[in-house]
Chains A and B, each alone.
Chain A
């Protein structure tokens, strides 16, 4: 009783009732706590463009320890193998494809993995082209590919993760005659068979091929200009690249450079020096110094200025902003000639 009275004095009556109610309410929330999910503003965020289309930003490089994961391919989470009975066959020959998909440890199953088996099995798999759905986790099937085929298997796991693997089967030409294709009328002549295959209307023959109206859509360079070619072979001009065009993209801006010199670099107290600086691939530069007695400061991507009278060691610093957005800096120091040398 005495001990209880001691504790009663430690907390007031209202505080004890308050804590008890607080605990009862929060104890009930423990049941619901497992269902609390933190939904950040980025999860369903899409910003609207001026023409009312949705733009979806990502945030991969925000993690300071894994920023580089978005500079390369994202590796699939699972593991599989797809093998062919032969990787080079003659036309009309069969090939047997066999596969095995291993279970994986889930790393993003939504929680609760600690309390149950974390081995996640594959639930489905498909092989394209020509095959379609296949049984999991392993099996085999036979196909008669008409031409060289890249079989790609995609397996899906219980947690939604995927595994990808592939096998290329080359179908060799059976004929001993190596055909030469030339145009004959509006058709393609096979020199081995002598057969002329007419081109579809609207698709003229040129260089031994029917000119297809179907193109692979994508970007290409013409000189320093970037174009987009549609699947209908229509070319659209995009932009004249400021720094050249290569492959299928404009080249990025070059890195900046900068140098600064002082002449002379060894002076007597009270003398001046000539500060000269230059830079390449920059948009703006400033020159400052660390001498509290003077106030030299200049701007310009290059220049030459006479300093103020200097009476102590002074370092001039060039700071420039590159056309690629980066910053560079360079320094040059003026030293004081010792006084005894002047005597």
Chain B
């Protein structure tokens, strides 16, 4: 009876167009029910496809992270081993800031399909990086880069965790390699500048940071959303501003360092 009452409340909310609250309630209810209590016939593939439709940042009219989570949770109830399902749940948890849950899901994905789905290692590296576990993040990035060595974002993020681990020289080498494939990439130019500064090369760092600032000014919303898939399309301009702001601060810091160095 209690389940029926809750089901009616959810149905009423969905019907009243309160989709967000309805899907939150729906996701919570689904998580608490055993599979045989669900009265709909669910196809894991269809649920996964619906979830992916609402999780594409380049389709702004369909993007809805909570609806995506609802459908992925539905698919998990039917078939938790569906390819990439744990991967997508990990990404959603990461975007919601729940790194522990994100790590749980991506570990499952790697356990099931790690050898075939190399970018699961990338996602785990990203989660571990955000959680401060830089050494293990670096190993995950190395594993991913062995299969996709030209991926600029992986190279950039690998350099990030190398820098945080106190390995700046390796970060210079990694980003220099990335720039040989993507010479105008502002993320790589910025990380390369930071790494050069860390090994004491102020002038080269300043040159690269200036190039990064010029290139960051022509990053479009579409390019940013390609760099940060899964994010709400409406935050693209905030993200671009944040990128430009970080690089601009780096240029100012390097200019001051150069002046201080010249005086000594």
Contacts and interface: CB of A to CB of B under 8 A. Distances in A.
A263 interface: no
B201 A111 contact: no
Contacts of A107: 58-60, 222
B5 interface: yes
B147 to A, nearest CB: 7
B157 A326 contact: no
A255 B220 CA distance: 37
B154 A26 contact: no
Contact of A219 (B148, B163, B176): B176
Contact of B203 (A11, A63, A234, A250): A234
A296 interface: no
A162 B220 contact: yes
B190 A71 contact: no
A76 B87 CA distance: 28
Contacts of A71: 148, 150-152
A50 interface: yes
Interface in B142-165: 142-154, 156-157, 159-160, 163-164
Given A162-B220, A249-B180, A57 B129 contact: yes
Given A39-B235, A43-B235, A70 B176 contact: no
Interface of B: 5, 9, 12-13, 16-18, 20-21, 52, 57-61, 63, 65-66, 84, 87-88, 91, 94-97, 115, 117, 119-120, 122-123, 126, 129-130, 139, 142-154, 156-157, 159-160, 163-164, 166, 168-170, 172-173, 176-177, 179-180, 182, 187, 190-191, 193-194, 196-199, 201, 203-204, 207-208, 211, 218, 220-223, 225-240, 242-243, 246-247, 249-250, 253-254
A243 B119 CA distance: 25
A58 B157 contact: yes
Could you say which of B149, B153, B180, B237 has the most chain A C-beta atoms within 10 Å of its C-beta?
A: B153
B218 A228 contact: no
B179 to A, nearest CB: 7
B200 to A, nearest CB: 9
Given A40-B231, A61-B148, A108 B176 contact: no
A183 B182 CA distance: 39
A24 to B, nearest CB: 11
A324 B187 contact: no
A63 B180 contact: no
Q: Is the interface of B mostly helix, strand, loop or mixed?
A: helix
A159 B221 contact: yes
Contact of A43 (B120, B126, B239): B239
B181 to A, nearest CB: 8
A15 B219 CA distance: 53
Interface stretch (A30-38, A82-90, A135-143, A190-198): A30-38
A60 B169 contact: no
A4 interface: no
Given A39-B235, A54-B246, A325 B218 contact: no
A214 B177 CA distance: 24
A184 interface: no
Interface of A: 11, 15, 19, 23, 26-27, 29-30, 33, 36-47, 49-74, 76-77, 106-111, 113-114, 154, 159-162, 217, 219, 226, 228, 230-232, 234, 236, 238-239, 241, 247-250, 252, 255, 322, 324-327
Of listed B143, B194, B240, residue having the most chain A CB within 10 A: B194
A59 B228 contact: yes
B7 to A, nearest CB: 13
A162 B240 CA distance: 14
A56 B151 contact: no
Contacts of A33: 18, 20
A51 B198 contact: yes
Contacts of A74: 222-223, 226
A65 B243 CA distance: 25
